[in-house]
Structure 1
Amino acid sequence: MSDVILPVSLREKGYRLVWQAETGSTNEDAMQAAREGAETPCWYVARQQQAGRGRHGRQWLSPAGNLYASLLLKNPCSMVEAPQLGFVTGIALYDALKTLTGAQVPDLALKWPNDVLFNGQKLVGLLLESQCMGDQVHIVIGCGINVSHRPDNPQYPVAMLHDLNPDLSLSDVFSAFSLSFDHVLSVWQETRGLSAIERFHPIRELWLERAGGIGKSASVNLPNGKINGSFIGIDALGRLELDTGNGIKLIDAGDLFFPKA
């Protein structure tokens, strides 16, 4: 299995790549590098993780053969705007996977807040982390892409890219994703100087075009219980909009589920 290689055009733009066959966590590698003053932007990529993690500190099973990639950025935006990078990343992932597989909405779809699904099954998970170090804002964008293995996931059925295209390599996937991310990030960065809501508006529209389950029954697991309703989209701040039948509930954080067909 070949190593992952950074596309030439990204090297020319100043991106760097740290590639390992195995590591504890690419997100932790990136954050540790930030603490040590690493040059950015830099991708930290591995074929296998021993201590991968997802949202809320959950374990992220990381068998060999899938792609685990984290991008370290320094001062890409304010801390207030940082959550928008999760939506930027989702758009980039969707566009890259569409190019690689030909799949599109509704089969390939984004799920709020940070997953990519294929036929309702989890294909990619994202984890966005940030930390202020002095006057510097460091943001790590991590993702796990199921390429040739389906990790056991008690919360959600899982898909892998080889179901769609068995010839894809890790290098193919990383190249397409990293190029797509740079493109979407560049478009978003052109809106610097606008308010956070104004900056998010075009990203919100692009995200909704790629989202799955809009108008469908859904449930959201919250710390204090579960709430049911109809998923109608996201608002100007990226909050989930759930029509409960008694008005629209805006949700900042939670786990969204769609009933099985």
Structure 2
Amino acid sequence: MKGLPNWRRLALGDVGSTNTVAMDAAQGGDAGQLWVTAKRQLQGKARRGRAWVSEEGNLYASLLLVDPAPADAIGQLPLVASVALHRAVVAAVPEAKTRLTIKWPNDLLLDGKKLSGMLLEAAQIGERHNIVIGCGINCGHHPGEGLYPSTSVAESIAPLEPAALFPHLAREMADALHRWNRGAGFAAIRDDWLSRAAGLGQPITARFSNHEKSGIFDSLDEDGYLVLRGQNGTQRISAADIFFGETAETR
């Protein structure tokens, strides 16, 4: 890849899922630092098995990393990747700079509407720990109704071709991973993330599979967990759907 000599790209047309192609490459012994991109995904997926609309016109890209960090630092990768994605969109569309935020842990919001989704998957193959970071960015269009209102760069700002965005994503991801340094540089990444955070210091609701918790989005801790401050103190949240405003009773 131009300017990134140790990185490679596999550019495809229609695929089931770029994450699946990347993980298949891992199964075949690929050394990692491999991007898989596609014009369209026929079986795109999001967190918790949700479908992701994947028609042509958006950027669908998955990055395979092999042994990127010690096990206790892997949970920081969604934050690392979201900082890189934010920087990439701003580099491609400078008008987005003051309008683009990160919704914990890794979604981009443009004018408060969802612009991207990210899915990280892991697989242990022999002695190798394989991580795939899958990104779907709404360049030309966006899904209809879902958990959150959504938008695209084209709808909110100006037309953006996926081919124009990808080089920025590849460069910013390589830079973010270098700065992260297998977890040793997470403090700087955490600061970058917090400077772009949506809802920081404001009421939010964390929705789990069978209950909700509301409080103030206080911070991120040193491991990247969301710190929720409620009437009975603070708690660390590792995974939840986050909604802005107090939509549930604090408890």
**Deviation >6 Å, runs of 4+:** none
Where 2:205 maps in the other structure, the secondary structure is: strand
Contact 1:63/1:151 (8 A) holds in 2 = no
Q: What is the alpha-carbon distance in structure 2 between the residues aligned to residue 236 and residue 109 of structure 1?
A: 20
Match of 2:164 in 1: 172
After superposition, the C-alpha distances for 1:92-146 in whole angstroms (9 at most, x for unaligned) are 11111112222234x2101111201011100011111111111111110111000
The Cα of 1:164 is off from its aligned counterpart by 4.5
After superposition, the C-alpha distances for 1:220-247 in whole angstroms (9 at most, x for unaligned) are 1112211111112211111111122221
- Give the count of matched residue pairs: 245
Q: What is the alpha-carbon distance in structure 2 between the residues aligned to residue 188 and residue 60 of structure 1?
A: 29
Query: Normalising by the residue count of structure 1, what TM-score does the alignment of the two structures yield?
Result: 0.89
Match of 1:19 in 2: 11
Match of 1:66 in 2: 58
After superposition, the C-alpha distances for 1:153-198 in whole angstroms (9 at most, x for unaligned) are 4200001011344242111110111111111111122xx5xxx5x5
1:223 to 209, 231, 245: 209
Q: Does 1:248 align with 2:234?
A: yes
Q: What is the alpha-carbon distance in structure 2 between the residues aligned to residue 153 and residue 144 of structure 1?
A: 17
Q: Does 1:235 align with 2:221?
A: yes
The Cα of 1:16 is off from its aligned counterpart by 1.2
Correspondence 1:1-261 to 2 at 5 A: 6=1, 8-10=2-4, 13-102=5-94, 103-105=96-98, 107-189=99-181, 192=182, 199-259=185-245
Contact 2:113/2:148 (8 A) holds in 1 = yes
Q: Percent identity?
A: 38
After superposition, the C-alpha distances for 1:23-74 in whole angstroms (9 at most, x for unaligned) are 1000011011100112421101011111111111211121211111000111
The Cα RMSD (Å) is 1.6
Flag the 1:91–1:123 CA change in 2: closer, same or farther, 3 A.
same
Query: Normalising by the residue count of structure 2, what TM-score does the alignment of the two structures yield?
Result: 0.92
Q: What is the alpha-carbon distance in structure 2 between the residues aligned to residue 14 and residue 200 of structure 1?
A: 23
Contact 1:72/1:141 (8 A) holds in 2 = yes
Structure 1 gap segments, 5+ residues each? 1-5
Q: What is the alpha-carbon distance in structure 2 between the residues aligned to residue 159 and residue 222 of structure 1?
A: 25
Structure 2 gap segments, 5+ residues each? 247-251
Contact 2:225/2:236 (8 A) holds in 1 = yes
After superposition, the C-alpha distances for 1:78-97 in whole angstroms (9 at most, x for unaligned) are 22211212111111111111
